[in-house]
């Protein structure tokens, strides 16, 4: 699973990639993460992204954040369906 701090080069964010925001004190601690609710082509740092928030319970909703970090894993269609089912339960 590649993970990186978003920089000046855009990235293609896939559905269910992990996006995170830094803590108030700086870039040494991630304060909050969520799953990308949809794919985003050519995503840049500072842009807003709609997340499935990972606080218990997982929550779908229109509460976008401007993430500074990104991580991705290649998921199969079956894994994506299982994640959807888990979120909706």
| 57 to 4, 63, 89: CA distances (angstroms) | 26, 15, 10
The more confidently predicted of residues 58 and 10 is 10
pLDDT 10s digits, 31-81: 888 899 999 999 988 899 998 887 667 777 767 788 999 999 889 999 999
Please report the sign of the dihedral spanned by the C-alpha atoms of residue 59, residue 62, residue 64, residue 70.
positive
The model carries a pTM of 0.82
User: What residues does each domain of the chain span?
Assistant: 3-88
The pLDDT value recorded for residue 58 is: 74
* pLDDT for 54: 74
- Residue 8 confidence (pLDDT): 84
């Amino acid at each position: 699973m590649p993970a990186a701090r978003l920089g000046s080069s855009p990235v293609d964010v896939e559905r269910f990639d992990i996006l995170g925001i830094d803590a108030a004190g700086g870039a040494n601690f991630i304060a909050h993460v969520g799953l990308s609710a949809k794919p985003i082509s050519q995503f840049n740092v500072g842009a807003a992204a709609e997340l499935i928030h990972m606080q218990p319970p997982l929550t779908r909703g229109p509460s976008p954040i401007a993430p500074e970090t990104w991580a991705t894993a290649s998921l199969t269609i079956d894994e994506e369906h299982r994640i959807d089912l888990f979120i909706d339960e």
